[in-house]
Structure 1
Amino acid sequence: MTTEADSKDTLLTHRLRAVFASRITALPAATRYLLLVAALDGSDNIRTLRRAVAGRCSLKHLAPAERAQLVRVDERTGTLSFRHSLIRSAVVELSTSDQRRGVHLALARAWGAVPERRAWHLAQAAIDPDEQVAALLEDSADVSARRGDGPNAVAALLRAADLSPSGDEQARRLAKAAYLGANLTGEVRDIPRLLRDARQAAPDAESLPAAMATAVYLLDSYGDIDAAHRLISGTIALQPEPYDLTDPLMAEALSTLLIVCVHGGKAELWSQFDDVVAKCRSVPDTLRLLRATFADPARARAADWDRLDAAIAALPGVSDPVRIVRIATAGAYADRLGAMEEPLLRTARGGYTGANNFPAIQASFLWGSHAFHTGQWRELRQVVGNGLALCDELDYSLRSWTGRWVLACLSAVCGDFTAATGCADEMDQWAGPHRGHAVRCYAAHARTLIALSRGDFEEAHRYACVITPTGSFAPFAGHALWSVLDQVEAAVRTGRRDSAFEHVQAARRLGLADVSPRLRMVLLASAALAAEDYDEAVRGFSEALSVDDGEQWPFDQARIRLYYGERLRRNRAAARAREQLAAASELFTRLGAAPWAARADKELRACGTLMRSTARVDGSMLTPQQREIASLAAAGLTNKQIGERLFLSPRTVSTHLYQAFPKLGVASRAALRDALARLERTSSP
């Protein structure tokens, strides 16, 4: 519906365009030509303009346009800018198609050293199909995709398809645009239309891009895991062996197959995937990492984690959102996402502009899983919510389950059992007919946390065993690394102490204690929880709480303090128990984990404490040393690094941080920077 304000804006636009057009038509021909070159170039670069018009006119012919207040020339920066966007469009509208093609050819020569720009201008100048220009545009699309410019990459492929003399090449490029659009810009709904156009261009052609685009559509929109697997694996099998993964399309095809296998989770799917990899040469590092550290992280080797850490260290400055998301995915189960917060959040923000919607969805949910473990629960709801809104808008139904799982886990530990159970029910209802192993594990993980938060340990044990049987780590069960403490607690509380102990031993045999500090902390606590001997349990809990930088995971830390306090109270060490239980209660409360805070409070009452011990939020109560330690931690230094700088032990640093958290009103290390900034503002005169 057009409003009165819209009508007025439209009328004003027409009037302005008419005013500008009258000024433009009054200019000399050479000046108008210069303006057309500048308008179609779009770089505002004087040097490019000079190269493009060389031999025809000179920049002195810009003077009439400057006097007419149409353009502004800044000799200091070497730029030319139009004084109003409508001037640029009016210049183009007043030109003929023949004039525009001639200018594009001139600009193509001027941009000879920049293949992408040259290809675009040649494409704009072309009238008839031209394979050479189409190939240049396709190369440009590949460069744009690697740079993270999804819209430009798709636009280049579509124009390349228009310029393709061969029906087979036109079909291939249309299918490639369909796949790239789904993989970057989030245009999964465009896949059927583009594939239909491809079939019309070449009815009998079968291409790898078409199979990839169709598989993505079947997977993301319909969740047809088995059909997607058959299609992509069958098409790969038609390619000549050994498979050449230096071809970006083949590498993408195998990456797509890996994600299909993750969602299917069946051993036979992975067996076929590994057979394909065995027939490849020069497998890309991201693909090797995803197979080793994401598909089956419990069996990854130390060398795999070293390669992953090297890949993460190389990420600063990387603009390719697909690479960022894949490296982050490889590190998700191994607590590596803290080192990737900036690129992940940057990629998640790409969804705000519509440039790279699909990586934005993935980055939002990856960061959400990290935020759950690191206590950034308020921010989690916003970031994951944005990702889910994109899923709804763009029809990425399968991918939405990851975000909904994160929110279900958060709802579970915060006591919103209705929301958490409703989401778990929906996940189970979807996973059954679609044979979606990953979504089934999402539901089981959420239900395990619901049951633990309610104190229903038998049900918690039953659902934890859906992820992996207690006492072992099932192949391709990445969630087992996130639910070690859940599994062990459920087993111990239901009288399965031997199984709990065996679960810890299985983790140690697999070397999981060396994968990350969080896993080391969790395994130490799990062993203490499973221990029958009191002294062994006390040593274990104490060691778990001494793990360097353990406060990065406040919910896990609060749970460990709760279990430690429970064990102390039952052995009549009431004073020591109160210390641990009060700290657990404080952390749970600040996080918003109400059922867990209530459980800690119940234990406190059993110790003779009638009310929860809460510290007053007052940053002025920080000691100078606590403030310095908190500032260094907020800057990203580990406890070990802080200790080396201040000549303190990592354990002493951790103690100071725990004392600082309640004074600053935070529950996690991740919130320190904002809390200290608020303190600085309020204390400034």
Structure 2
Amino acid sequence: MPDRDDGPLIGRDRELAELAAIVEMAEHGPACVLICGDAGVGKSALLRAAARHGRRAVRLTSDAESATVLEQLTGDGPVLLLADDLRPEALLSLTETVCHASTGRVALLAAARDEAVPSGLSSAVQRLYLRPLAEDDAARLLDAEFPATAARDRRDILRRAAGNPLALRILSDPGGQVPAEFTQRVRALPAPTRWLLLHAALADDAEHVGTLTEAAQCSPDLRDWEPAERAGLVTIHRGQVRFRHPLLRAACAAGRSVSDVVRAHHGLASAVGDPQRRVRHLTESTTGTDEPVAAVLEAAAEAAMSRTDFFQAAEAFQAAAERGAGEKAALRYARATFAAHRSGHPEWAIELYGRAADADPDPDAAGVAAYGAAFSLVHTVQPWPAFELAARAIRRGPRDRRVTLMLAFVAANAAFYSGAAAHREHLPHLLARAGDDDSPPPGRELIPPLDDTVIRAAVLAVSNPGRHGQSVDYPRPAGSRPADLLHMAFTGTMAFLRDDSPRAANDLRVVFDASARSDGIGSAVSSCHLMILAMIDSGRWADAASRLDEAERLAAVQSVPVLRVFVPVFRTILRALRGAGPAAEPDPLPLLTGTSEIETLTQRAAGLTALAAGDHPRAYSHFRRMFDEDGEPQHFFFGPRSLPQLAMTAARTGHLADGQRILDRCRAVAGPAPTTRMTMLLAHAGALLDETERAGPLFEDAIEDPERALRWPLEFAEAQLNYGLWLRGRRRTHEARAHLLAARDVFLRLGAHAHADQARRSLPIGLRPAGDPAPRPDAFTELTAQKQMIARMAAAGMTNRQIAERLFLSPRTVGSHLYRIYAELGVGTRHQLRTLIETGG
């Protein structure tokens, strides 16, 4: 396997930072570190990456130079010595020379396998133990180097590689060869031992050594295992066989004939007690049409479904379909599609749907397959094909109305992603095809019992939130069975659409956590984006950040495109809301045609980032893109919920008329009975766009209900802050103080530091709480010359863009400077800045 260098080093940020610190130490004297780890774990790659931090790097491949040579090398500056895979005695000599005989500026970075670390190594040598990659980092490496790996193979490769980068590459590459150092150690063993090791390599790690011995028909006294233990290939502890390296497992199967492998699987299928493990070996030991075997596999799949082990269920259903024919094969492919979706492998589910469609299942089975495939299309960010697939399956007329209801629900999900009015208008017609008969067709039950009322309400709420969003409340199920979690997914979705953010966050969190712990990852993916948004809206930012970490791991391990899209968007939103300073420029975020939900949230993330930097023109441009030329929201739900930000930036940039037109359209979208949250947001935006005294009553309408502060703390506090600023502008300072202080306290509790600073600075100096710092008289004169110039231009009424053009800077840089200027001077607005400069204080 050739060296892989100069690419990004995945999953080694901490180790690389430690090595970079060692290199920096060489500025002051000798430093030495030894990287230890198994073969193929990435020691050489880490050395190469660390070498890029050194001014001069010298690679050593033989015995160490003398102290005199080292002194000569370091005369003109620090030197980085790289020693990779030296003999133990040479490594010992080199470390002794660097640590004890050299006074030059030299850093030694050496690498050695655990078993090759010399005894007697100096205590001055720091040791860095390089361990296997975490599962999500291993998945990222797999995607970077072998992006076309099939979803079904991906999970097995990650399991067998066990985080070892070299093993991952060899197992992923169809032409990959196990290095000779591993295969030769296996070939040196007696034939009975090699036969036992083949069974161990094909079996699950949990299999007992006695079971493996029985399957291989070897001596029951375990004598045939002893050569492998003495050679250091495996350990046997408490009946469990463990390979010392993942490539040793691969070496045990390398070079074996197909008949040997099939025979070993057949023996394991006969000896293994666990039904699911037996099914896997049965699958690998049979080929072609075999209905008795297919029936056994189908029964195992049913058992796996009842345990919510959806991955194994999908594998078993697929294997059963491949060994059956006709209507039975079509139904099995359909159920495999459903199970693959629930396991969180969308690309696999889409592939299985193609096989199910080719087998031409009946309308009920076709509907089950279409449900799994349509949801998988949503999870691969293809909502338009998803909607068409679900609608087409409904039009085929399933006899089981529950299949039709589930298809209507996935169509509603696709419509929510696409935001297309045509999709939402069509939902009631699809729902009407479900009819009222609650009994499934005799003889089979493909879909679990569902709450008809909740599903219908969720679908109708997507079709027209203004009309159907305010429905009756629904009790939470008491259990945690799959049907209970499915019910809670519906109630959580309903709560989100009704702007009941706290309940949406709670219900969807239960679904996400339970699904992520089990093998029902598909439900976790489905609930993730609404859960995160509900947590952000209800002020549970720490919970949102924690679930984002888990979602990022799932996105990598499961290879789920929709999570890869959403996670950076939500991280950008949280970073902008939390920032103690200007939020960082977001990474380029995708703008995907036909997904107005993602497009709208992406624009919101970019707008909040610009707003945190004080760049109102750029912020306005992003918020404005959330609406079309006529002011219609690009996404019916998310566009109106950014109205206050749109209104504020419109007012700051001279776009009042355009902002008012958008506000009027959003009022129409909200309908005659908007939710309590939308009532607050509409009033807040209206006040920001009104330059007359009528703004006061609108602000009061926005904050009239204290319950809103508990349900949507950030949005309520923002309304209080802006009302306080409005009151202060009219010299009603004592009234302003109460609102500014209340807003500041909420911002501090949430961790919205920039908001909190603005609220504090906006308080008149004489009305600030005891202990708040007052502006120092000499603060302005202590600013740098550039900052003083920017402050004077801003105080004179110039916009960030005008200042940027005058000083040859970017508007974002100007906004960052102004943010820091305000903090250093203790002011909160340009008016206060102008007053401070004019008074000389």
Q: TM over 0.5: same fold?
A: yes
| Match status 1:574 vs 2:729 | no
Contact 1:471 1:499 in 2 (8 A): no
Q: Secondary structure at the match of 2:242?
A: strand
Instruction: From the superposition, tell whether residues 466 and 172 of structure 1 become closer, same or farther in structure 2 (CA, over 3 Å).
Output: farther
Of structures 1 and 2, the larger Rg is shown by 2
Distance in structure 1 (CA, Å) of the matches to 2:314 and 2:269 = 21
How far apart are 1:299 and its partner, in Å?
0.7
| Match status 1:256 vs 2:419 | no
Instruction: From the superposition, tell whether residues 272 and 283 of structure 1 become closer, same or farther in structure 2 (CA, over 3 Å).
Output: farther
Q: Secondary structure at the match of 1:256?
A: helix
Contact 1:71 1:82 in 2 (8 A): yes
How far apart are 1:314 and its partner, in Å?
4.9
AA aligned opposite 1:487: L
How far apart are 1:236 and its partner, in Å?
1.8
Contact 1:464 1:483 in 2 (8 A): no
TM-score by length of 2: 0.52
Q: Give the counterpart of 1:450 among 608, 625, 646.
A: 646
Instruction: From the superposition, tell whether residues 424 and 492 of structure 1 become closer, same or farther in structure 2 (CA, over 3 Å).
Output: closer
Contact 1:562 1:600 in 2 (8 A): no
> Which whole-Å deviations, capped at 9, do the CAs of 1:353-383 have from their partners, x for residues lacking one?
331525635873896699589x446999899
| Match status 1:107 vs 2:107 | no
| Match status 1:185 vs 2:342 | no
Contact 1:368 1:403 in 2 (8 A): no
Q: Give the counterpart of 2:329 among 165, 169, 179.
A: 169
TM-score by length of 1: 0.62
Distance in structure 2 (CA, Å) of the matches to 1:491 and 1:425 = 16
Q: Give the counterpart of 1:491 among 680, 686, 695.
A: 686
Contact 1:564 1:580 in 2 (8 A): yes
Instruction: From the superposition, tell whether residues 86 and 382 of structure 1 become closer, same or farther in structure 2 (CA, over 3 Å).
Output: farther
Distance in structure 1 (CA, Å) of the matches to 2:287 and 2:719 = 69
- Which range is displaced more, 65-74 or 364-373? 364-373
Distance in structure 1 (CA, Å) of the matches to 2:697 and 2:625 = 31
AA aligned opposite 2:649: S
AA aligned opposite 1:400: I
Instruction: From the superposition, tell whether residues 586 and 166 of structure 1 become closer, same or farther in structure 2 (CA, over 3 Å).
Output: same
Aligned counterpart, 1:129: 289
Q: Give the counterpart of 1:303 among 454, 462, 474.
A: 474
Contact 2:600 2:639 in 1 (8 A): no
Instruction: From the superposition, tell whether residues 36 and 461 of structure 1 become closer, same or farther in structure 2 (CA, over 3 Å).
Output: same
**What does residue range 54-453 of structure 1 map to in structure 2 within 5 Å?**
56-58=218-220, 59-75=222-238, 78-115=239-276, 117-131=277-291, 133-134=293-294, 159=319, 162-166=322-326, 169=329, 173=333, 177=337, 180=340, 184-187=344-347, 191=350, 207-208=366-367, 211-212=370-371, 225=384, 229-245=387-403, 252-262=406-416, 263-265=419-421, 268-279=425-436, 281=438, 282-283=449-450, 287=455, 290-291=458-459, 296=465, 298-303=469-474, 308=492, 311=507, 314-315=510-511, 317-318=514-515, 319=517, 320-327=520-527, 338=540, 341=544, 344-345=547-548, 347-351=550-554, 353-358=556-561, 360-361=563-564, 364=567, 371=574, 375-376=577-578, 400-401=598-599, 403-411=601-609, 413-414=611-612, 415-417=614-616, 419-421=618-620, 423=622, 439=635, 441-443=637-639, 445-446=641-642, 449-453=645-649
How far apart are 1:384 and its partner, in Å?
9.4
Instruction: From the superposition, tell whether residues 481 and 357 of structure 1 become closer, same or farther in structure 2 (CA, over 3 Å).
Output: farther
- How much identity, in percent, do the aligned residues show? 19
Contact 2:288 2:323 in 1 (8 A): yes
Q: Give the counterpart of 2:197 among 35, 39, 44.
A: 35
How far apart are 1:446 and its partner, in Å?
4.4
Distance in structure 2 (CA, Å) of the matches to 1:256 and 1:378 = 40
Aligned counterpart, 1:556: 716
AA aligned opposite 1:28: P
Q: Which ranges in structure 1 are unaligned for 5 or more consecutive residues?
A: 501-524, 532-539, 617-661, 663-685
AA aligned opposite 1:466: R
Contact 1:138 1:160 in 2 (8 A): yes
- Which range is displaced more, 404-413 or 2-11? 2-11
Instruction: From the superposition, tell whether residues 85 and 588 of structure 1 become closer, same or farther in structure 2 (CA, over 3 Å).
Output: closer
Contact 1:491 1:497 in 2 (8 A): no
Q: Which ranges in structure 2 are unaligned for 5 or more consecutive residues?
A: 7-39, 46-165, 171-175, 439-448, 478-490, 493-502, 775-822, 824-841
Distance in structure 2 (CA, Å) of the matches to 1:402 and 1:144 = 39
AA aligned opposite 2:420: G
Instruction: From the superposition, tell whether residues 381 and 170 of structure 1 become closer, same or farther in structure 2 (CA, over 3 Å).
Output: farther
Instruction: From the superposition, tell whether residues 473 and 321 of structure 1 become closer, same or farther in structure 2 (CA, over 3 Å).
Output: farther
Distance in structure 1 (CA, Å) of the matches to 2:476 and 2:648 = 31
Instruction: From the superposition, tell whether residues 142 and 258 of structure 1 become closer, same or farther in structure 2 (CA, over 3 Å).
Output: farther
Contact 2:412 2:459 in 1 (8 A): yes
RMSD over aligned CA atoms reads: 5.8
Instruction: From the superposition, tell whether residues 287 and 329 of structure 1 become closer, same or farther in structure 2 (CA, over 3 Å).
Output: farther
Distance in structure 2 (CA, Å) of the matches to 1:410 and 1:153 = 44
Instruction: From the superposition, tell whether residues 260 and 377 of structure 1 become closer, same or farther in structure 2 (CA, over 3 Å).
Output: farther
Contact 1:412 1:453 in 2 (8 A): no
